[in-house]
Structures are given as structure tokens and as C-alpha cells.
């Protein structure tokens, strides 16, 4: 390329570290699906050719759709394959086959004609009152994009198409995109947007692949096939590095592999401080496949099973049996350890399209119908999960907990539904653990401030700092523009955590933390000092947190906690941590 100078000075980008480790590989660019369309006048004698081009694109789109339908049929069954029929019907609708051709006949290019026709249809769909029909506009838009791709000769890219080791570069990735990387050869990923505790980042950690997010314009800076280094520890991305830099990173990668092998030796040792105080280090998972990683890294249980993945990429609510089989499988594998299943926390940045009537897009989903609010409003969503969790509790040591609780009444209401679920199971003669422990996530400031009242009505508390920080500091956890304000060491956060721990203990309940804060060794020392009973982190982070706990006395950790709680700001807090960490 002719832009050597620019490349050599600006091939290093700083983003937000989202998942640790170093990855080196070739770029797989997930292009944004925005098409830039221009109107081109087509002379009369070219119109026939233009309509032919459009018809060819329709034929190609149809055959791609049939192939997709076949794949869905093979992998998911007949019921799901029928979903593809809806798309095929749109493709055959006269508004596509007739109206677009009519528009081309007016003397415009096929892309523009298609765009104009769809724009009109989509606008009229937006006026429809009925939510279900209004939402069909997305299907029409999707079909339109498929045709456009073929008209423009653009290849559709999907993560499942990756055939050799690659680094994925995208504007944004949804949690369901990230989940589909599981089967793939993705060595790491980087995105333009996102924050450290966005769910996309969390899924990357559970997959143990390095990731950097919030790079703003990385998609515009790289090309397919470029070599990329991702440093997920520092949040650095290097595009087409010099050979020397590449060598350095390869060496660093080897060192890190060796260090993690060393840490794995702690697998069977307890998380016990040098003065004999023991806490539990558990792991967070997003799906049952991760149980292997949990055990491999030596976690003593699952402190947070995010159940949302069961709701992704489907159009109906999972059944009680699906829940039961899924959780039962995990519970059995984890014995003798326990598994805390978090009831579904849809909303916020975890979107699903599970066909619940009356759900409309929200202006501010993080403050909207999310987590327990959604479940209480839609018992048809909540009850099958409660019953599935209860039934699985007969097969292992299962506990359940509610997300996004903002007041004690929500706990009482959820508990009522839980009692109802138990009654129904008794009547059906199905077994479950009558003494199942019920916990509440403390992730909303109002819940933290009333933790004493909440603790009286449950068996344990689990502090979800990912949300507690965003709601307390008014900092969107997925917005890279305010990422520097997202600070677990903000005094307000430390005070809230400390008071929640005290409230739980006063009520005679145990308290854990399952937010990302627990996975940082520096913070883990403070948390030990504050008296948390359990820290639950990504499976790969278990060894380093165990090591931290095993290297400090609880007395020192307590002194550190007292000091940081009296420090006026971040600088003073960090100084205190440094002072306590130097032997």
C-alpha cells in the first residue's frame, strides 16, 4: 500500500481490555450490514438487462434460503425449519416480484428500486398497532438485505463460516454471535463498541479467548487477511505488526501459557488465607459446556449460571423440560459442589426474541423491563424455569437466585411464584429439593441500601457489581465513551459492598460476589478483608484468585479494607493497596 508512513505510526490501537490473553492471527472481518445505495438512471434499452439482474438475484437468494432451511432442518428439526418458510414467502410476494420490477421499469437501478419499494412497505408496517405484525418488518428488511447482497455481489459473512483460525473484527457482536464462536476457530475478537463488562465481553472470557472492545473504528482500519495482535490484558491491538513486535508478542504468549500452567497446580488446593480463613472460589458460566472448564480450573462450585443463553436464537419460551434437562445435567456433573442458577435476566444488553406478546422496544432497556421485572410480568416465562430448576434440584445441589431485584416486594412476589411452582410439582408427583436455597442478586443501589430487609427474606445474597457499578455511578457498562468512569474502586461502590456484607452477616446469611470485580486480584484482597464468603469468577480466572487469597492473611486483608474505606479517592485507595501488598 502507499500509506506506509501512516501504517507505521498508527498501527497500534488502544481499546478496552475485555478478555485476557494474547492472540495473534488473520483478520476475519464481519462487515456492518449497512448498505450504501445510490440511484443510477438506467437507459431504456438497458432496462431489460436490469430486470434480468434483479431476477437472477432473486433466484440466488431463493436457493440460499433453501440451503439454510435444509441446514436448520438437519440441525434443529422440522419445527424450526418452518421459520425459514416465512422468509421464502416474503421473497415470492408480489411486492418484491412485481413492484420492484415496476420501479426498475421507471428507469432506475435494481438496488435503488428494491430499496424504495421496501422503504415504503416497512414504513407502513411501522404504523401497525399489532406488535407481532409490526415486528415482521424486520423479516422483510432481512430478506431485502439478502437480495441486496446478491445484487451487489457481496458475500454474506457469518461466524459459522470461519474455516481456519482467525481473529474476528466487527462493529459489535451480540452475546448470541459470541456464543456461536464456540464451535469455531476464533482465536480472539475486537470490536468498535462495547465496555469491559458488556455481556459480549463476559462470553469471551468464558470462552477463554482474548478480546478488546471499544476500539471505535477498528473495522474501518483493518482489511480481511491483515495480521492482528490482540493483547487482551492491556486492551491493545496491533495491525500488521513489524516482525520484531510479532516475535516479542509470541514470546509473551509463551510466558503467559507457562504461567497459567503453573497456576493450574493450585487446582486441588483450597482458597485459604495464610492465617487459615477459608472462602469459596466458584465460577460463572453461560452454558452447560463450560462445566468442564469449571472443574479443570479448580472452582468449588458454580456461583452464577447465567441462563439467558437458553433464550437466544429462538422464537418461543423454553419449556420446563428443557430447563430441567439442562440444569440437571450441570448439577450432576458438578457434584459434590453446588450450582447457583440465576433466573433469566433478559433485557439490557441481553436481548432475546422469544415471542412474548406486548414487548415493545424500550428507549432505555437497562432501566426497563429487565430481569425479575420481566419474569414477574410474564409468569408464562418464569414458571417453566422455576419448575425446571426445582426439578433439577432433585439431581444435585442446586440453589436459585433472582436478578435485578430493586426492592423486597419483588423478592416476596417471586417467592410466591416459587411456592406455586413447588405446589404444582407436588401435585404432579415430581421430586425436588424442599429446602432449596434462594438467593438475591444485589446489583441495583436500592437493593444494596435495603440489603438488611432483603436478607431477611432469602438464604443468601450475591453482589453483581457489573450492574451495581453502572447503576450507582450512572455509567453505562457497554458504552466505551464513559468506560474510564466505570470504577469498582469508587468509594460509593466500596461502601455499598461493605454494607451489604455487614447486612447479610447480621441476618445470619452468607454473601458472595459474582460480578467481574471479584476476578481482579487487587480487588479480591479487599473483598476478602470485607468478609465476603464466596467469589465467583470466569473459570479461567479461578486459579489467579485462589493464588491471591492463599498469599495474604485475612488480618492484613481486613486492615486493607478498613484503610481503603477511609481513603477519599482512587489515588489514595491505590496507594493503600500498594502499601499493603508490599511485603
Task: Please identify which residue in 99, 290, 410, 467 interacts with Mg ion, judged by CB under 5 A.
Answer: 467
The Cβ of residue 120 has, within 10 Å, a number of other Cβ atoms equal to: 13
Crossing angle for the helix pair 408-428 and 379-392, to the nearest 10 degrees: 60
β-partners of residue 280 are: 534
Q: Which stretch binds ligand PEP (CB under 6 A): 361-369, 448-456, 463-471, 520-528?
A: 463-471
Q: What is the DSSP letter of 192?
A: S
Residue 149: contacted member of Mg ion, ligand PEP, none (CB under 5 to 8 Å, by partner type): none
| 465 near ligand PEP, judged by CB under 6 A | yes
Residues 6+ apart with CB under 8 A from 97: 58
| 497 near ligand PEP, judged by CB under 6 A | no
| 543 near Mg ion, judged by CB under 5 A | no
| 467 near ligand PEP, judged by CB under 6 A | yes
Residue 306: contacted member of ligand PEP, Mg ion, none (CB under 5 to 8 Å, by partner type): ligand PEP
Least gap, CB of 465 to ligand PEP (angstroms): 5
Task: Please identify which residue in 188, 194, 210, 515 interacts with ligand PEP, judged by CB under 6 A.
Answer: 515
Phi-psi region of 545 (alpha: psi -120 to 50; beta: other; left: phi over 0): alpha
DSSP secondary structure letters along 221-259: H--TT-EEEEETTTTEEEES--HHHHHHHHHHHHHHHHH
Q: How far is residue 233's CA from residue 23's CA, in Å, rounded to a whole number?
A: 11
Using the minimum distance from each CB to ligand PEP, give the nearer residue, 195 or 298.
195
Least gap, CB of 345 to ligand PEP (angstroms): 6
| 475 near ligand PEP, judged by CB under 6 A | no
Using the minimum distance from each CB to ligand PEP, give the nearer residue, 24 or 545.
545
Among candidate residues 580, 575, 578, the one with its CA nearest the CA of residue 554: 580
Candidates 199, 297, 323, 580; catalytic one: 199
Q: What is the 3-state secondary structure (H, E, C) of 200-228?
A: HHHHHHHHCCCEEECCCCHHHHCCCCCEE
Task: Please identify which residue in 51, 200, 466, 472 interacts with ligand PEP, judged by CB under 6 A.
Answer: 466
Least gap, CB of 471 to ligand PEP (angstroms): 9
Q: Which stretch binds Mg ion (CB under 5 A): 62-70, 284-292, 300-308, 439-447?
A: 439-447
Least gap, CB of 466 to Mg ion (angstroms): 5
Using the minimum distance from each CB to ligand PEP, give the nearer residue, 180 or 343.
343
Burial class from Cβ neighbours inside 10 Å (0-12, 13-18, 19+) for residue 496 reads buried
Least gap, CB of 238 to ligand PEP (angstroms): 29
Grid cell in block for residue 167: 481473529
Least gap, CB of 536 to Mg ion (angstroms): 12
Among candidate residues 453, 542, 465, the one with its CA nearest the CA of residue 498: 465
Using the minimum distance from each CB to ligand PEP, give the nearer residue, 17 or 464.
464
Q: What is the DSSP letter of 496?
A: H
Candidates 297, 323, 458, 514; catalytic one: 514
Least gap, CB of 470 to ligand PEP (angstroms): 8
Least gap, CB of 546 to ligand PEP (angstroms): 20
Using the minimum distance from each CB to Mg ion, give the nearer residue, 99 or 516.
516
Residue indicated by cell numbers 482467525? 166
Helix (H, G, I), strand (E, B) or coil at 173: coil
Residues 6+ apart with CB under 8 A from 318: 310, 311, 384, 385, 388
Q: How far is residue 429's CA from residue 512's CA, in Å, rounded to a whole number?
A: 34
| 443 near Mg ion, judged by CB under 5 A | yes
| 306 near ligand PEP, judged by CB under 6 A | yes
Q: What is the DSSP letter of 156?
A: P
Helix (H, G, I), strand (E, B) or coil at 577: helix
The H or E element that residue 94 is part of is: helix 94-94
| 556 near ligand PEP, judged by CB under 6 A | no
Using the minimum distance from each CB to Mg ion, give the nearer residue, 467 or 480.
467
End-to-end CA distance of the chain: 53
| 464 near Mg ion, judged by CB under 5 A | yes
Residues 6+ apart with CB under 8 A from 71: none
Q: Which stretch binds ligand PEP (CB under 6 A): 131-139, 312-320, 328-336, 459-467?
A: 459-467
Residue 563: contacted member of Mg ion, ligand PEP, none (CB under 5 to 8 Å, by partner type): none
| 464 near ligand PEP, judged by CB under 6 A | yes
- Site size toward ligand PEP (CB under 6 A) is 11
Task: Please identify which residue in 111, 231, 290, 443 interacts with ligand PEP, judged by CB under 6 A.
Answer: 443
The H or E element that residue 188 is part of is: strand 186-191
Q: Which stretch binds Mg ion (CB under 5 A): 252-260, 262-270, 437-445, 523-531?
A: 437-445
Instruction: Name the pairing type of β-strands 460-463 and 437-442.
Output: parallel
514 has catalytic annotation: yes
Q: How far is residue 195's CA from residue 202's CA, in Å, rounded to a whole number?
A: 10
Helix (H, G, I), strand (E, B) or coil at 134: helix
Using the minimum distance from each CB to Mg ion, give the nearer residue, 237 or 514.
514
199 has catalytic annotation: yes
β-partners of residue 238 are: 12, 229
Least gap, CB of 230 to ligand PEP (angstroms): 22
Q: How far is residue 472's CA from residue 121's CA, in Å, rounded to a whole number?
A: 43
HSE on the CB side for 186, CA within 13 Å? Answer: 29
Q: Which stretch binds ligand PEP (CB under 6 A): 32-40, 460-468, 518-526, 573-581?
A: 460-468
- On whether the CB atoms of residues 382 and 375 are closer than 8 A, the answer is yes
Interaction pattern, residues 202-241, with ligand PEP; x per rule: CB under 6 A: x---------------------------------------
Grid cell in block for residue 507: 441476618
Residue 529: contacted member of Mg ion, ligand PEP, none (CB under 5 to 8 Å, by partner type): none
| 480 near Mg ion, judged by CB under 5 A | no
- Active-site residue set: 199, 514
Q: Which residues sit at the interface with ligand PEP, rule CB under 6 A?
A: 202, 304, 306, 345, 443, 464-467, 514-515
Q: Which residues sit at the interface with Mg ion, rule CB under 5 A?
A: 443, 464, 467
Amino acid at each position: 500500500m502507499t500509506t506506509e508512513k501512516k501504517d507505521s505510526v498508527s498501527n497500534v490501537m488502544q481499546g478496552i481490555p475485555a478478555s485476557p490473553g494474547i492472540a495473534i492471527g488473520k483478520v476475519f472481518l464481519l462487515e456492518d450490514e449497512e448498505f450504501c445505495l445510490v440511484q443510477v438512471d438506467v437507459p431504456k434499452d438497458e432496462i431489460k438487462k436490469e430486470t434480468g439482474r434483479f431476477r437472477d438475484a432473486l433466484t440466488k437468494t431463493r436457493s440460499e434460503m433453501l440451503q439454510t432451511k435444509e441446514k436448520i432442518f438437519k440441525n434443529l428439526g422440522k419445527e424450526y425449519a418452518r421459520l425459514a418458510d416465512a422468509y421464502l414467502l416474503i421473497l415470492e410476494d408480489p411486492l418484491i416480484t412485481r413492484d420492484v420490477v415496476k420501479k426498475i421499469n421507471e428507469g432506475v437501478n435494481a438496488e435503488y428500486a428494491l430499496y424504495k419499494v421496501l422503504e415504503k412497505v416497512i414504513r407502513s408496517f411501522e404504523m401497525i398497532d399489532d406488535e407481532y405484525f409490526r415486528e415482521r418488518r424486520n423479516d422483510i428488511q432481512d430478506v431485502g438485505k439478502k437480495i441486496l447482497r446478491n445484487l451487489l455481489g457481496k458475500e454474506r459473512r457469518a461466524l459459522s463460516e470461519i474455516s481456519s483460525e482467525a481473529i474476528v473484527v466487527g462493529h459489535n457482536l451480540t452475546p448470541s454471535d459470541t456464543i456461536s464462536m464456540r464451535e469455531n476457530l476464533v482465536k480472539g475478537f475486537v470490536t468498535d463498541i462495547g465496555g469491559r463488562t458488556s455481556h459480549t465481553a463476559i462470553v469471551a472470557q468464558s470462552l477463554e479467548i482474548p478480546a478488546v472492545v471499544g476500539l471505535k473504528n477498528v473495522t474501518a482500519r483493518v482489511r480481511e487477511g491483515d495480521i492482528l495482535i490482540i493483547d487482551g490484558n492491556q486492551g491493545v491491538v496491533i495491525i500488521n505488526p513489524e516482525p520484531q513486535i510479532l516475535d516479542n508478542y509470541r514470546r509473551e504468549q509463551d510466558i503467559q501459557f507457562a504461567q497459567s500452567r503453573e497456576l493450574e497446580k493450585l487446582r486441588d488446593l483450597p482458597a485459604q488465607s495464610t492465617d487459615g480463613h477459608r472462602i469459596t472460589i466458584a465460577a460463572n458460566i453461560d452454558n452447560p459446556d463450560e462445566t468442564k472448564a469449571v472443574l479443570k480450573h479448580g472452582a468449588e462450585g458454580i456461583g452464577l449460571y447465567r441462563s439467558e443463553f437458553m433464550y437466544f436464537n429462538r422464537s418461543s419460551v423454553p419449556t420446563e423440560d428443557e430447563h430441567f434437562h439442562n440444569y440437571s445435567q450441570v448439577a450432576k456433573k458438578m457434584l459434590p459442589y453446588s450450582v447457583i442458577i440465576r433466573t433469566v435476566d433478559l433485557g439490557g444488553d441481553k436481548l432475546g426474541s422469544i415471542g412474548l406478546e406486548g414487548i415493545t422496544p424500550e428507549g432505555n432497556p437497562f432501566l426497563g423491563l429487565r430481569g425479575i421485572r420481566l419474569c414477574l410480568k410474564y409468569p408464562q416465562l418464569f414458571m417453566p424455569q422455576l419448575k425446571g430448576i426445582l426439578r433439577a434440584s432433585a439431581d444435585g445441589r442446586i440453589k436459585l437466585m433472582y436478578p435485578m431485584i430493586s426492592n423486597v416486594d419483588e423478592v416476596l412476589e417471586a417467592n410466591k411464584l416459587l411456592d406455586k411452582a413447588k405446589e404444582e410439582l407436588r401435585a404432579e408427583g415430581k421430586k425436588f429439593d424442599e429446602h432449596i436455597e434462594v438467593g438475591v442478586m444485589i446489583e441495583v443501589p436500592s437493593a444494596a441500601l435495603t440489603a438488611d430487609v432483603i436478607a431477611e427474606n432469602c438464604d443468601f445474597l450475591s453482589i453483581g457489581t457489573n450492574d451495581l457499578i453502572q447503576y450507582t455511578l450512572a455509567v453505562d457498562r457497554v458504552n466505551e465513551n464513559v468506560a474510564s468512569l466505570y470504577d469498582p474502586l469508587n468509594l460509593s461502590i466500596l461502601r455499598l459492598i461493605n454494607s451489604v456484607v455487614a447486612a447479610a452477616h447480621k441476618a445470619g446469611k452468607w454473601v458472595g460476589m459474582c460480578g467481574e470485580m471479584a476476578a481482579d486480584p487487587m480487588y479480591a484482597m479487599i473483598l476478602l478483608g470485607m468478609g465476603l464468603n464466596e467469589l465467583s469468577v470466569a473459570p479461567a480466572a479461578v486459579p489467579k484468585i485462589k493464588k491471591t487469597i492463599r498469599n495474604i492473611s485475612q488480618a492484613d486483608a481486613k486492615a486493607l479494607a478498613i484503610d481503603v474505606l477511609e481513603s477519599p479517592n482512587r489515588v489514595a485507595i491505590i496507594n493503600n493497596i500498594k502499601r499493603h501488598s508490599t511485603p
